[in-house]
Chain A
Amino acid sequence: MRHVFKYITCSLLAVSLGAGPVFADYRAATAYYARRDYISAANAYFQASGYPKAPGEKERSEWGLAQSLTRLGFYYSASKYYSVIVRRGPTQNNVYFVKALEELGRINSTINLGQSHIVQLFKTRIDPALVPQQAAGFYFYYLGIEAFNQRKYEQAFAYFQKVPSGPYLIKAQFHMGVVSNLRGAHSKAISYFERVRASADRDEDGAWIREQANLNLARVHYEVKRYRDSIEYYAQIPRNSDNWLEALFEAAWAFFMMQKHNNTLGTIHTLHSPFFENRFFPESYILQAITFLRLCRYPAVKDSLAKFKTRYKGVFDDLARMIEKNKADSKGFFKLVYDYRTGSLNEYRRAWAILDALSRTDVYKEAGQTIRFADNELARLSRYSSVWGRTGLQDDISGFLRNKKQAAVKDAGRRLFDKATGYYAYLKELSDQTIGINTEMVLGRVDTLRAQLKVGTADKKANFIGGLQELNVSQDLEYWPFEGEYWEDELGGYVYNLDSKCGKGEEGAAPTK
């Protein structure tokens, strides 16, 4: 009786194992794939890649596994196996090299693989002549980015130039614009940014790059002292954009350089509204102070400098504490920004403006995207645990996804920390400037100080209404007086109504106390 029982048990075990993918080979995997049973196919390919029975079977299995995962919508997970293929380089035996590179390019154009992933990928040097046309965009764009990050601008430009038509062309053109501007070729830069504006898609990604192009166009025009054109481009940043306040602030400088002081002050008035109390524009107080200085309104200068001190003294202290506590913990620093963004942070309250600024950076957003996509695949992975858990595929993928998350968090944390220390230095420099302005005023060297500002000549032809809009005589206007109450719809539309007190017995007469 005992023998019979043993026999039945062994038979059942053999049947169950034989039917499943534990003993599956490459042929079984391709059969599953042909039947569109990608769950079993992925499992079988994973096994076959671990125990290849014939030359080239390992590589074919890896390709099959990556393809099965792509079909199942596990793009990040698939990228792991495509990357394994690409990192082997374009050898004669690596027949899937080109296709894997193409697939990675496709995945990266929809869900960002992350800079660190791609840097690892292209550590293998590849003969550019061997890079197929379909993968050239992805390949050369990221080589360009790497060179750009290392400040090798000539090399970066050369790589960007090699990017063919496709999803990477517009990004490459954008960077060519940036490089051209850095080289001092402003007209060329404008031409590249205009091209980006014109060819950007009408989707979310297109809107993002169009906005970046507009900002850069505005900055290039500012640099070459075409302030009116600069403001025109700043005005194209939409109100709902994270960059809107940045555009307003930079436009306030353009107004200042054009000696449109009422517009400068009006634009700053928006930045100082209670709606934006957690936004970080400390320099706006300095600009406000020197604008009042230009108008010889000395008490207002003092008031602006005092407001700067009141608002940013606490920020400075909390930021210093935050930096000190997290200088060896990039993960912890990322969590701090994350906690602020999700509303669960209760400490460093006075430095929330800094955390807010950090949470609006592309660094934070990209890391957030990586975490979201990885978490999404991890959650879906549990659905297949009964099949993939037996062969170790689940562990392999989940390990990769967790590492990817950790790498993204660590990398972003380090870069955000660097930015935060930059903000610290920036605040310190601004604080020194406020002391400088005060000192010069007290010493009666107001004229010297005003001369240092080097503003442009007043553009008499340019007339602006509230916000960044030029006066159009055929347009009906509406006026709303500001009576101490901020209305959300009025933000960005303020203009001051102050005349200069210079030459009325006050110019040069420095107010002492």
Chain B
Amino acid sequence: MTQLTQKKSNAGVLARGLLLASVMAFGAFTPDAMANDDRFSGYEIRVIRPRFMTKSNRLELGGQGVFILNQSFIYSLMASGLLDYHFSESLAFEINGAFGLSFDKQDKTLLKRDFQITTQILRTSYMAAGGFLWTPIYGKTQLPTGDVVYFDSFLTFEAGMTGIAYDYAQCVAPDVEKPAPTTKSYPGAIIGFGQKYFLSEDTAIRWDVRDNFFVYQVADGSCNPGVSTGTDFQQNVTLQFGMSTFF
């Protein structure tokens, strides 16, 4: 046992359990998480039993829908696949990739139609990353039906590439030659947290919130990509929700 066990009694609804668990995931991010079984020695009565969900030396294959949260003018919806290998109950290596589309929000359309403002936007077309998952918390919560659901709370540390699609829609001036649409890739890093709720010993519902940050060449999206204008920092905050199965 290398994990904190966390019980949530009578959470009432699953959403409350999720919220509490998320808070705890951050709150429990301490060296205590590596404490061994001695932490139970102070309790007169304990439950000791075979673990319901074991992940050690198992492969996790999952699929998620990905929504980028911090975009003012577009919606980016992506589909992602992930493959994890769990070395132990608390440590896993993960590779994942997401591809998707973006759609203009009404604000963008209005700006262009009513104010002739064309926005320069970073449209994420793919994300691919690999890295480690650290699972410091294994817990359980009770549903209103009385059923007990086990969950993991984990943190993600990954590195990868993010593909940005440039369509140069803002290059409408008559004296400017509009560059051909292209996709440029940028290296970056990802940190995140998430949870898996185990429906069985082989299946889980999984959600993640991730911050994918990378540095890009500002000129890549300008109407004159050949002229360097320096770099800028970009963050994509994603909410991901899907299912995982374990082999």
Q: Quick one: which of B14-48 are within 8 Å of A by CB?
A: 37, 40-41, 43-48
Contact A482 B45, CB 8 Å, known A488-B148, A489-B140: yes
Q: Quick one: which of A255-277 are within 8 Å of B by CB?
A: 266, 269
B43 close to A482 (CB less than 8 A): yes
- Chain A residue at minimum C-beta to C-beta distance from B150: A478
- Interface membership of chain A positions 197-217, coded 1 if the CB is closer than 8 angstroms to chain B and 0 otherwise: 000000000000000000000
Contact A493 B49, CB 8 Å, known A479-B40, A482-B43: yes
A467 sits at the interface (CB 8 A): yes
A477 close to B50 (CB less than 8 A): yes
A13 sits at the interface (CB 8 A): no
**Minimum CB–CB distance for A91 against chain B, Å:** 61
A465 sits at the interface (CB 8 A): yes
Contact A478 B7, CB 8 Å, known A496-B44, A497-B44: no
Q: Quick one: which of A460-513 are within 8 Å of B by CB?
A: 465-467, 469, 472, 475-483, 485, 487-490, 493-498
Q: Which of these, A472, A475, A476, A493, contacts B47 with CB under 8 Å? A: A493
**Inter-chain contact count A-B, CB under 8 Å?**
87
Determine the chain B residues whose CB is within 8 A of the CB of A480 once the complex forms: 5, 7, 46-47
- Chain A residue at minimum C-beta to C-beta distance from B89: A476
Measured CA separation A479–B7 after assembly (Å): 11
- Chain B residue at minimum C-beta to C-beta distance from A484: B45
Measured CA separation A134–B142 after assembly (Å): 54
B52 sits at the interface (CB 8 A): yes
Determine the chain A residues whose CB is within 8 A of the CB of B151 once the complex forms: none
Determine the chain A residues whose CB is within 8 A of the CB of B215 once the complex forms: none
A465 close to B44 (CB less than 8 A): no
**Minimum CB–CB distance for A436 against chain B, Å:** 27
Determine the chain B residues whose CB is within 8 A of the CB of A479 once the complex forms: 1, 5, 37, 40, 46-48
Residue contacts A-B, CB under 8 angstroms, 24 given: A266-B45, A465-B48, A465-B49, A466-B47, A469-B49, A476-B56, A476-B89, A477-B51, A478-B1, A478-B47, A478-B48, A479-B47, A481-B43, A481-B45, A481-B46, A481-B47, A483-B43, A489-B148, A493-B49, A495-B46, A495-B47, A495-B48, A497-B44, A497-B46
User: Which 7 pairs of residues, A with B, have the shortest CB-CB distance?
Assistant: A482-B45, A480-B47, A481-B43, A466-B48, A476-B51, A493-B47, A465-B48
By a beta-carbon cutoff of 8 Å, the part of chain B in contact with chain A is: 1, 5, 7, 9, 37, 40-41, 43-52, 54, 56, 89, 138, 140, 142, 146, 148
By a beta-carbon cutoff of 8 Å, the part of chain A in contact with chain B is: 266, 269, 465-467, 469, 472, 475-483, 485, 487-490, 493-498
